[in-house]
Amino acid sequence: MKINLLDFDAAGLTAWFAEMGEKPFRAKQVLRWVHQFGEDDCERMTDVARSLRARLAELAEVRAPQVVGDSTAADGTRKWLLDVGNGNAVETVFIPGENRGTLCISTQAGCALDCAFCSTGKQGFNRNLTAGEIVGQLWWAKKALGDFRSAQKPDDDAEDGRIISNVVLMGMGEPLANYDNTVTALRLMLDDNAYGLSRRRVTVSTSGIVPAMDRLGNDCPVALAISLHAPNDALRDRLVPINTKYPLAKLMAACKRYLEKSPRDFVTFEYVMLEGINDSEEHARELVRLVRDVPCKLNLIPFNPFPDSGFRRSSAARMRRFVEILVQAHIITTTRKTRGDDIDAACGQLAGQVQDRTQRRQKRTISIAETAS
């Protein structure tokens, strides 16, 4: 099989070209063609030497995941189902907004963390996505939306004109359990010779793998969101099992360390509202006490039902009271608008087609141990 050029960040492509006897500037040229212009034909990379184009055509290709499903919701949210081989697929969602366009990207086929309220976790875990499969979702979405720059007008790169202005790693999987491939993809998103996104406009969401959070802060700090969902350890152990390994005290300390290097001056805490589970006034007061020393924003998420979940969405009145308590404590709080739920593209609904659903707990333990090492 040919080498996938989407798997290389700048350092990786430079090293590969060096093995071929090519100069470092060739890597910048090829990165621009692939990630700025969306070119997948090496022969059309016109400012690359003809001899190198011929070698690239022989040895390499641009191989994004194949699209097997494409649906658009009534509100304009668009979801692609992308084949990643062996009967597995992942989902990528584009959410248009008034002043931004956000792409939600997956990092694993399925998920090993088994959060109680998430349909993806119920599908089990198959494998990590490669760097090319992660960034390939952005590459494909830009092509589908007509968001690549024109090779004929290479200087026309005004950021305000981008259709995709923000990227969030909040799709299927736990990004920090697929650390190396996630960071390679992040570096491409940030590289001025590739997608050139601001660190403030790229967000990694994690359930709280503390050692990997520390690594990310050192290696590639971007905006950080924490899937919190509970204000105390006893409840979070039930809802987010990774909490048994990295409880809330360790997680809050890790958030403070991350903020020392983060491009933003706050962490976003995501909190799915579950009726009768985590949405009482006392839960809200516990949450205030938990996060009061961490510069943060709270993002409350209405639960999106899926078959046999066993949970219900909190009522509007209950959510309003929850918000009131947080705001009275001077905590910035937003309630996420549900988008794309008519095509199962809303938060917690991404399920994809995961083939191997066995030994989920064993794989989760292995994944966490490898990430922490």
* Domains of the chain: total: 2
Residue 368 confidence (pLDDT): 36
Both 198 and 282 in one domain: the answer is yes
Both 22 and 142 in one domain: the answer is no
Both 133 and 50 in one domain: the answer is no
Domain boundary among 61, 80, 100: 61
Q: Per residue in 89-118, pLDDT tens?
A: 999 999 998 889 999 999 999 888 989 888
Q: Work out the percent of the chain whose per-residue pLDDT is above 90.
A: 77
Q: Is the pLDDT of residue 288 over 90?
A: yes
Q: Is the pLDDT of residue 357 over 50?
A: no
Q: How many CB atoms lie within 10 A of CB 161?
A: 10
Note whether 150 and 86 are within 8 A (CB): no
Both 44 and 139 in one domain: the answer is no
Rounded distance, CA 35 to CA 28, Å?
Answer: 10
Rounded distance, CA 292 to CA 298, Å?
Answer: 11
Please, what sign has the CA dihedral across residues 284, 290, 295, 301? negative
Note whether 36 and 194 are within 8 A (CB): yes
Both 9 and 50 in one domain: the answer is yes
pLDDT tier for residue 207 given thresholds of 50, 70 and 90: very high
The CATH number covering residue 20 comes to 1.10.150.530
Both 57 and 75 in one domain: the answer is no
Note whether 182 and 173 are within 8 A (CB): no
pLDDT tier for residue 336 given thresholds of 50, 70 and 90: confident
Q: How many CB atoms lie within 10 A of CB 291?
A: 23
Amino acid letter, residue 138: L
Query: Per mean pLDDT, which range of 233-237, 317-321, 361-365 is the poorest?
Result: 361-365
Both 351 and 205 in one domain: the answer is yes
What contacts 185, CB < 8 A, 6 or more positions away?
A: 107, 131, 134, 135
Domain boundary among 27, 45, 61: 61
Q: Per residue in 29-45, pLDDT tens?
A: 999 999 999 999 999 99
The CATH number covering residue 86 comes to 3.20.20.70
Mean model confidence pLDDT for the chain: 89
Q: Is the pLDDT of residue 11 over 50?
A: yes
Range of the domain at 275: 66-372
Domain boundary among 46, 61, 76: 61
Query: Per mean pLDDT, which range of 7-11, 84-88, 172-176, 217-221 is the poorest?
Result: 84-88
Both 224 and 182 in one domain: the answer is yes
pLDDT tier for residue 369 given thresholds of 50, 70 and 90: very low
Q: Is the pLDDT of residue 270 over 50?
A: yes
Pick the residue with more confidence: 152 or 303? Answer: 303
Amino acid letter, residue 18: A
Both 178 and 325 in one domain: the answer is yes
Phi/psi at 54 (nearest 5 deg)? -65, -40
Note whether 9 and 130 are within 8 A (CB): no
Note whether 88 and 355 are within 8 A (CB): yes
Residue 341 confidence (pLDDT): 57
Both 193 and 137 in one domain: the answer is yes
Phi/psi at 340 (nearest 5 deg)? 75, 20
Residue 116 confidence (pLDDT): 86
Give the residue numbers annotated as catalytic, written as ranges: 91, 347
Both 21 and 114 in one domain: the answer is no
* pTM of the complete model: 0.89
Both 40 and 174 in one domain: the answer is no
